[in-house]
Structure 1
Amino acid sequence: MPAAGYRGVDYLLFGYFLIQIPATLLFDTQGVYGEWLYPSFLRSLRHHYLETYKDPFLANAWNHPWFLSFCLLEHYLAMPFYVWAAYCYYYGAVNKPVIVIPALIYSVHTITAVIAIWTMALLADFSKIQEPAPTNFTQRLLLCFAYSPFFIVPMVNAVDSFLLTQKRKND
């Protein structure tokens, strides 16, 4: 049984990776693949998100090649990782230590991607694009807020993974 402090983190990370599976398959992929692939309720959910958060990147990833690269990595490399990570964190990182280094790599990649998204959301000129996009600073901050869980949870994961590697090294 892992230490109490790690158990809470394991539950958080299990939930995060478990939620990532349907979110990626049913929501995030809509910015890359044709809308005809998705039922109307998923398209409606996406349109509501786009109108609320004014996310030009997810509206059409093909218009933002840097973002498209993150999406394709998520769809084809991260998806299998999400399944495996959810499995490992279900049992706990202390019990499944094989997850620690891959989780650290995933976390650093995701943090880096979110920083790139935040930078573009705050500094890019969206005046000439057709997709919904932020038109003022408040809307830019709201868009950054929409991506914040994908910074916060991977940061927790990175710190936890680092601490676990240090603990194993010292044992």
Structure 2
Amino acid sequence: MGALTSVLDGLFLAYFIIHVPTTILVDSQSVVPAQYFPGWAKDLLQWHIKTNGDHLVSTNPLWFVSMVFCECFVQLPFFFVAAYAFIKRRNWIRIPCIIYGAHVATTMVPILTEILFSPAAGPKRVTLALIYLPYLIVPLLLVVRMAVVAQPFGPASSGRKKGGKRKAQ
């Protein structure tokens, strides 16, 4: 089990780190005015829309924009906190990860349903669903990883000694 959790923890850390520039430069274009993005970021988004037929990003329905808003202003700060906690192996991240993972998995259900079953979805619906699918699977794995043990990084990784004093680093 130790090797599997190490691999998963590496996956989660990479997921959080990679999500930062993706959220800032690509996803946030659904909620932040275009003037705040470099041309290459706007071109990258347009390439994605054209290549993968992403009708959600191209039309930005209000319900989708509300989810992207949550990504930008709730999830984005969490990515920094979670990356720090995984690097430093801090057990206090357990409950926040469960909340985050449940939130993201819940938001991905209507997104994937729209992509797969909407009349507006085009012929690239399966490809697009496969692009979005990791954003369901990784958060669900995170929830399971954090839910099965009380101290995901072991007893010595809380960052504090008994009595509430910080241990020497």
* Interval containing the TM-score (normalised by the shorter chain): 0.7 to 0.9
**SS of aligned partner of 1:165:** coil
2:91 counterpart (97, 104, 108): 97
User: 1:24-75 CA distances to partner (integer Å, 9 max, x unpaired)?
Assistant: 01110112222221111111111111111111222242xx121111111111
Could you say which structure has the higher helix fraction?
1
CA deviation after TM superposition for structure 1 residue 152, in Å: 1.6
- Structure 1 spans left out of the alignment, 5+ residues: 127-133
Task: State the alpha-carbon separation in 2 of the partners of residues 77 and 67 from structure 1.
Answer: 15
Please tell me the residue identity of whatever aligns with 2:32. Answer: Y
Structure 2 partner of 1:131 = none
Structure 1 partner of 2:9 = 10
2:108 counterpart (107, 114, 117): 114
Any residues of structure 2 matched to 1:74-153 within 5 Å, and which? 74-92=71-89, 96-126=90-120, 134-136=121-123, 139-153=124-138
Q: Is the 8 A contact 1:21 1:82 kept in 2?
A: yes
Compute the RMSD of aligned alpha carbons.
2.0
Number of aligned residue pairs: 153
Task: State the alpha-carbon separation in 2 of the partners of residues 69 and 49 from structure 1.
Answer: 20
- Point out which structure has higher relative CO (alpha carbons under 8 A, 6+ apart): 1
Task: State the alpha-carbon separation in 2 of the partners of residues 57 and 15 from structure 1.
Answer: 25
Structure 2 partner of 1:130 = none
- Structure 2 spans left out of the alignment, 5+ residues: 154-169
**SS of aligned partner of 1:164:** coil
Please tell me the residue identity of whatever aligns with 2:122. Answer: T
| Identical amino acids, percent of aligned pairs | 29
Structure 2 partner of 1:30 = 29
